[in-house]
A and B are shown apart, each in its own frame.
Chain A
Amino acid sequence: MTLRQAQDGALRQAQDGARTLHLNAIYSAAGGYLGGWRHPDAPARAGVDFGFIVEQVRKLEAARFDALFIADLLGVPDSHPDVLERVATVNDSLEPLTLLSALATVTRRIGLIATASSSYNEPYTLARAFASLDHLSHGRAGWNLVTSLIDAEARNFGLDAHPEHDDRYRRAEEFLEVAYGLWDSFDDDAFVWDKDAGRAFREDGIHRLDHRGEHFRVAGPLNIARSPQGRPVIAQAGASPAGRAVAARHGEVIFSGARRIEDAREYTADLKRRAAAIGRDPDEVKVFPLLSAIAAETREQAQEQYALLKTLLHPRVALGDVEYWLGSVDLTTYPLDGPLPELPVSNQSQSAQQQFYEAARRDNLTIRDFADRVSDAEGIVVGSASDVADHIQEWFETGAADGFNVGFPYVPDSLDSFVELVVPELQRRGLFRTEYEGATLRENLGLTRPETLRAAKVADVA
């Protein structure tokens, strides 16, 4: 099959309305599993080794992944020192927008989705950085909007504690509204570059915003032309009620932490229903559950690799992860074989805390059970290419997923086996593309390019 035929086929499939599976790589340079950095084949400096990261991303692009996604924290968590000295990612990671900008010029098609917080940034700064990334990458930028999680982040920005949950979602929505307005500062056809007349852009093609809201006052205009995608793709991961509302209103790519297929179906249906209820096309809301996978030629080999991986996680680190998701608490004073203690509602991630309590009640779990689940990397799919593809196909075809946020427990091996074994199997089954459909991330995700919001014209910007 020639490249042209492959592209035509992909486009035809998209035009026929057939659903297309999407794959997004959630890339943690040192591996997604907390002990992954200790794997014998993992380069120890992976967190800040840009050359190594480029190699991995080029493999993902060759496998036709829709996008690369970088998660983020704005600080080192308040974990116990015995935990902190044994983990890689939170201690030693590149800032996402800087990393993705550097990748923009050494990749061609893969989307570049950076996490950025609406709680500890200004809208002008982020609107500008993402527009700049969209221009640098010829339309491949995406923004995973988060409201941040932990008090340690707040303290790096001059606050004692993280803002209250509902307030930071209100700020997030206003933040996005400002960004939308700033991205439309210039009309798409504002720039004329008429050398003879000495005219760079039409005076009526630029607009100031003059936003005045509860959290922000922003005059605009933004100092960059409208970007190739109009706006970067907006990704969101809200799971609490407030988070789901924001995701349904604004999210185009929705990350979900659902681990059971029935939870994923409920979440996907709920998000699409909420989006439709406010007049959005549900097909423009793509839900991506997390999929962490170890694939190998045979199921037995995959199990061996998984067994080796589990030996790399120190038990204190596993407990530390439970403490973190419960809201950065200290569990060392409670008996390991006792129940989860009653703790105040987390201001960090309410949905994560709730998931723990629901599981504890449902399955009658002890603290040790939860730590074991971390070291077991619960939810990880271990098996042959066919096993992993079966999982993907079932979730995709039964309304639990439009695509997957694929995590790699350790690099490069679990990434290599996914692109070398699982992706070809998905392509054989006709589930996944063999060529990119378009040039921009929006085109590959099947999302429309937004028109400018703007109608009002202004005489001057000063």
Chain B
Amino acid sequence: MSNIRRQRILDFGAMFSTTGGHLAGWRYPGANAGTDLDVDEAIRLARLYESAGFSAIFVADVVSIWGHHLDSLSRTTRASYFEPLTLLAALSSVTERIGLVATATTSYNEPYTIARKFASLDHISGGRAGWNVVTSVVPLEAANFGRDSHYDHAERYARAAEFVDIVTGLWDSVADDAVIRDKESGIYLRNEGRRPLNYHGEHLASAGPLNISRPPQGHPVIFQAGASEIGRNFAARYGEVIFAAPRNIEEALEYRRGLNEALVAQGRVPEDVRVWPSLSPIVASTHAEAERISEQLNALLHDDVLRRAIQDNVGDVDFSDFDLDAPLPELPESNRSKSRAAGIIALARENGYTLRQLAVRYIGGSVIGTPEEIADRIQEWFEAGAADGFNVSFPYLPGAAEDFIEQVLPVLRARGLFREHYGDTFRQTLGLDRPDWTIAELEASA
């Protein structure tokens, strides 16, 4: 199937939470608190995003509590949340068109399990599954899976590459036209349409075949967020939609340029890969009112939360005794997400921030303004090629999502930049090719 390139149109993914993405969002007046496991609120939000024309719901994840220190963790919503694949399966049956993107780590799962779960979600949802491939970053995750420490950076990406090769190989272990279910002859699956994988890598092995027919999308859509050099090369090899967190449009354009070079080096077409930077909007009828909301939210951040938010992202140094109102001290290199740590440290150095200023900027890094101002910002990035869409995190709920949908989206619609554009599958919504795989192709490749 050849890709008939649609007119370029904005995609929005909703970074899913029922209490909002801001660490103090749950404390905001009128905001949801204690709804992290409220399935009815999750359904309401999923349907809200779908009715607004969002392309996807995206569920981030770590396989541990999301923070190392009780003084901070006990003041956030990061200790208790749904597991992404069960949540998205539950939402798949009460939505019809929106994409469903679950995070799953290659470091602490088995590829056969992941291939099967995403294939199942793709079947159940009628072709709406997406997989955000991560390699895990939080040290606590390793300790939940029998390891003293996390795989080092290079090793976990090597394992991740084998993992994705196995998963896609398993999705291709049964050809599209192999499952004929012919009641008359009694043949359910043509043997010539099945190809075991027999993969034996350095880190992983799996024989296959998968025990489910090929997913409606062929492959669920692969999402990735690698930003370090090794991560970006990984994204260029496998990613179809790339999450990025650039601090400004120059960084975003620089990232896109580097990604395009890496894509070409992999023999891929840059236009086939979408980049969705993150966006946390606070919209109000005046700029001053939006500023006031942002300040009110940031004032609800407890000192312990501010301190640990930076500590947990830059390395293995104890921040307990750091003065929040002094500059960020010198820090050693970390085995965690290298790009994230470097970005945070650079943010502090470039602006001469105190630890408090840095933490508020990092946590509360929202795009603030009137509907027109936020639409301007989105338009600027989109038209400059810095973004194909945005991964939108709403600081508090309800409120922030509704305001964005009711006030910003109409402006973007009026400017011809956004409209509802659901296809029959998530791939079609995104304008991505389906990787077809027939018995004829299988036999030709043998």
Contacts and interface: CB of A to CB of B under 8 A. Distances in A.
A76 interface: yes
A195 interface: yes
B189 A84 contact: yes
A133 B80 contact: no
A461 B123 CA distance: 39
Contacts of A203: 70-71, 74
Interface stretch (B205-213, B376-384, B437-445): B205-213
Nearest to B144: A124
Interface residues of A, number: 80
A125 B105 CA distance: 11
A216 B63 contact: no
Contacts of B358: none
B124 A461 contact: no
Interface stretch (B31-39, B231-239, B333-341): B31-39
Interface string A119-158: 0111011001101110110100000000000001001111
Contacts, number: 231
A224 B191 contact: no
A37 B90 CA distance: 27
B33 A219 contact: no
A101 interface: yes
Interface of A is mostly: loop
Contacts of B181: 37, 44-45, 88
B89 A98 contact: yes
B325 to A, nearest CB: 20
Q: Which of B80, B116, B181, B190 has the most CB of A within 10 A?
A: B80
Interface stretch (A103-111, A275-283, A359-367): A103-111
Contacts of A132: 82-83, 86-87
Q: Which of B94, B108, B212 has the most CB of A within 10 A?
A: B212
B80 A223 contact: yes
A17 interface: no
Interface residues of B, number: 75
Contacts of A104: 39, 90
Nearest to B76: A200
Contacts of A221: 65, 79
A453 interface: no
Contact of A102 (B37, B83, B93, B144): B93
B156 interface: no
A191 B80 contact: yes
B63 A125 contact: yes
B204 interface: yes
A104 B34 CA distance: 21
B75 A199 contact: yes
Interface string A9-53: 000000000000000000000000001011110001101101000
Contacts of A54: 93
Contacts of A334: none
A132 B63 CA distance: 13
11 contacts: A47-B212, A74-B211, A75-B112, A97-B89, A98-B120, A102-B92, A125-B109, A129-B85, A136-B39, A195-B33, A198-B27
- What are the nearest 4 A-B pairs in CB distance? A219-B143, A101-B89, A155-B207, A44-B181
